[in-house]
Chain A
Amino acid sequence: MTLLQIKEISKHFGGLQALQSVNMNVEDGLITALIGPNGAGKTTLLNVINGILKADSGSILMEGEEIAHLPAHKIASRRIARTFQILRGYEHQTVVENLMVGCHVNTRSGILAGLCSLPLARAENRKAEKAAREALAIFDLTPYADIPLSVLPHGTQRLVEITRALVSEPKLLLLDEPTSGLNPRESDVLLEALKSIKEKGVSTLLIEHNMRLVMGVADHVNVLNFGVKIAEGTPAEIGKNPGVIEAYLGRKFSAAAF
């Protein structure tokens, strides 16, 4: 079944056509990768899905419902979580507080409940903190639970950010270059985590330059080049596609990998 359908999405910035009639599907329960050279429009496409940018034309269906016209926070409440290429964590807050923000879409208490510490607000606090502390185990972050994010090294901060996306119990997880800033050991941890996320039934749309990771976990690969989708298929098919080799992978990589 198709979870997210992207139909004929176009977006331009001034004279630059960032996306040109892109069609793409994210299948339920699978890991879909989006690759392509720098400036191909991968992050732009993610921003359009999130509603941070509005597409010029085209439509996006989440579980069959149109979401392209919704504001960003409404799209997030359809259980689409996201991490960014540059770190956008909440530096002054501790790791646990960061993760608790991930529970925002799962809870509903408002300003007044918070201000007066009504039972609803307190119950939701406990629920959020429990979920956050349990999620620490995914990347072995338990020792850093009560340390502010800004004190942690870059790689650990990224893992916190991915954990925060997971705390919201998403149906669709959008990861924008999750391995940037991770060392090889941390990348391996991430690879395993992606597999276990898939086992839990969460679908993932992954932008990644680390081809070892993409070929290792992706079920389906889409390739963008200058805002146009030039290929899609299984990792093996993509590795042999002459157009993709020309535009992105290079002959050396595909000769070595396949």
Chain B
Amino acid sequence: MGKKQVWTVFVVALLVVIMPIFGKYFFPGFNRYFLHVGTFMCIMTILSVGLHIFFGICGQINFGCNGFYACGGYIASVLMINLNCHYFIALPLAVIGTGIITVLLGFAVLRLRHWVLALGTAAFGFAAFIAFRTVAVGFLGGDDGLFVSKLVIFGKKAGPSFYYYFALAWTIISILGSYFLENSRAGRAMKSIRADEVAAQVAGINIDHYIRMAFLLNGMYAGLAGALYAQWNRGVSPDSFTPDIAMLVLVYVVVGGLGRLSGAVIGTFVLVLLPELLIPLKEYELLIYAAIFFLVIRFMSKGFVGTVQDFLHRRKMVKLEAAGQYSRG
């Protein structure tokens, strides 16, 4: 990272951390709203960073994020309600549980590639949504879902700012994990699978292994998001995990700039904020998303971030050309 980027990250970090403390005293009404949107944004960011690892880095399509998200949420809720687990134990167990489900699903769907993989994962997303509505209604609550009691830490009930900071911390960990992964041997291997599977194999990369691992990470990130959601929302119901969620996350990642971590984060930020700014048009939310999606695909196929980066790189090439270091021969 360059100096400028470090400063940008620092300023953004300061804003998101200071805001609730500052807001609590000066504009309490807005603060509650800020914390609500902020927590939701953190959860969605974890989802889209997870998808970014599988789709953006490794180049495999997953339309079933809502399924993993639901698994994480339901596992955490069941552990807290039926086994009386503390949230801090239920959360990692939910992540691991979702991971196990992802691995099992992977045995079946990762034999597929490209659009067939999209269909396979989408089928899982739909199946999970329907299953949580209809299977074991007495246990999983059917359409009504499960109700989780308020989180108590050291005898104190946790408030909205706790959930915000907790989700924010996990978001930062998730983003850092993805950032480190991308710039490691494993991340480079995944990127080369995205570019060309044959060339990757010939470079000594075990593509099946890395695709499975990327899928596992995608599932575990989504499971984490689900577990965070379950406690914050004080419970889960199938309506929180509709297949729409999988599509939304996909749109976040693509609109921000597919294959770029900053793209996934900025895409989520802009598109979660957008409907909040356009509350009068709430009914047309998905329609507006679709319009943005098509406009971005058509006119800036590399997303917000990719288009800007490409412009900068081309300018650098022109400079090199002018300096005579480069010729078309």
> Which residues of chain A are within 8 angstroms of B201 by Cβ–Cβ distance?
50-52, 71-73, 76
Asked whether A114 and B329 contact (CB < 8 A) given A73-B204, A84-B199, A92-B195, the answer is no
In the complex, are the beta carbons of A50 and B329 less than 8 A apart? no
The interface on chain B, measured as residues whose beta carbon lies within 8 A of the other chain's beta carbons, has a size of 39
Pick from A77, A104, A121: contact of B189, CB under 8 Å: A104
In the complex, are the beta carbons of B326 and A114 less than 8 A apart? no
Which residues of chain A from 95 to 147 have a CB within 8 Å of any chain B CB? Answer: 97, 100-105, 107-111, 113-117, 121, 124-125, 128, 143-144, 147
In the complex, are the beta carbons of B191 and A90 less than 8 A apart? yes
> Which residues of chain A are within 8 angstroms of B177 by Cβ–Cβ distance?
115-116
List 12 contacting pairs A-B, 8 Å CB cutoff, sorted by A: A72-B201, A90-B191, A97-B191, A102-B203, A111-B186, A115-B177, A125-B183, A125-B184, A144-B320, A147-B317, A168-B204, A185-B329
Sorted from nearest, which 6 A-B pairs have the closest CB atoms? A114-B184, A76-B204, A88-B199, A72-B201, A90-B195, A105-B204
> Which residues of chain B are within 8 angstroms of A72 by Cβ–Cβ distance?
201-202
Interface segment out of the listed B93-101, B104-112, B205-213, B240-248: B205-213
> Which residues of chain B are within 8 angstroms of A114 by Cβ–Cβ distance?
180-181, 183-187
A interface residues with partner B (beta carbon < 8 Å): 50-52, 71-73, 76-77, 81-82, 84, 88-93, 97, 100-105, 107-111, 113-117, 121, 124-125, 128, 143-144, 147-148, 151-153, 155, 164, 168, 183, 185-186
Asked whether A117 and B184 contact (CB < 8 A) given A76-B202, A92-B195, A151-B317, the answer is yes
Q: Name the distance in Å between B176's Cβ and chain A's nearest Cβ.
A: 8
Dominant SS among interface residues on chain B: helix
B interface residues with partner A (beta carbon < 8 Å): 176-177, 180-181, 183-189, 191-192, 194-196, 198-199, 201-207, 210, 213, 217, 259, 310, 313-314, 316-317, 320, 325-326, 328-329
> Which residues of chain B are within 8 angstroms of A107 by Cβ–Cβ distance?
185
How many Å lie between the Cα of A51 and that of B198 in the bound state? 10
Pick from A51, A88, A113, A147: contact of B184, CB under 8 Å: A113
How many Å lie between the Cα of A124 and that of B181 in the bound state? 13
How many Å lie between the Cα of A190 and that of B129 in the bound state? 58
How many Å lie between the Cα of A115 and that of B210 in the bound state? 13
In the complex, are the beta carbons of A90 and B329 less than 8 A apart? no
In the complex, are the beta carbons of A73 and B326 less than 8 A apart? no
Q: Name the distance in Å between B230's Cβ and chain A's nearest Cβ.
A: 24
> Which residues of chain A are within 8 angstroms of B204 by Cβ–Cβ distance?
73, 76-77, 104-105, 168
> Which residues of chain B are within 8 angstroms of A82 by Cβ–Cβ distance?
202
In the complex, are the beta carbons of B198 and A109 less than 8 A apart? no
How many Å lie between the Cα of A91 and that of B192 in the bound state? 9
> Which residues of chain B are within 8 angstroms of A90 by Cβ–Cβ distance?
191-192, 194-196, 199
Asked whether A148 and B195 contact (CB < 8 A) given A117-B180, A143-B325, the answer is no
How many Å lie between the Cα of A229 and that of B262 in the bound state? 53
In the complex, are the beta carbons of A100 and B188 less than 8 A apart? yes
Asked whether A104 and B188 contact (CB < 8 A) given A115-B180, A155-B329, the answer is yes
Q: Name the distance in Å between A34's Cβ and chain B's nearest Cβ.
A: 17
Asked whether A153 and B328 contact (CB < 8 A) given A90-B192, A104-B205, A105-B204, the answer is yes
For A100, the closest partner residue in chain B by CB is B188
With most chain A CB atoms within 10 A of its CB, the pick from B188, B210, B217, B328 is: B188
How many Å lie between the Cα of A76 and that of B199 in the bound state? 11
Pick from A84, A91, A116, A186: contact of B195, CB under 8 Å: A91
In the complex, are the beta carbons of B198 and A89 less than 8 A apart? no
Extra inter-chain contacts (5) besides given A73-B201, A81-B202, A114-B184, CB under 8 Å = A88-B195, A92-B195, A111-B213, A114-B186, A183-B329
Q: Name the distance in Å between B137's Cβ and chain A's nearest Cβ.
A: 38
How many Å lie between the Cα of A23 and that of B86 in the bound state? 68
In the complex, are the beta carbons of B185 and A104 less than 8 A apart? yes
For B189, the closest partner residue in chain A by CB is A104
> Which residues of chain A are within 8 angstroms of B198 by Cβ–Cβ distance?
52, 84, 88
For B309, the closest partner residue in chain A by CB is A148
Q: Name the distance in Å between A69's Cβ and chain B's nearest Cβ.
A: 15
> Which residues of chain A are within 8 angstroms of B184 by Cβ–Cβ distance?
109, 113-115, 117, 121, 124-125
In the complex, are the beta carbons of B202 and A109 less than 8 A apart? no
Pick from A50, A77, A111, A143: contact of B320, CB under 8 Å: A143
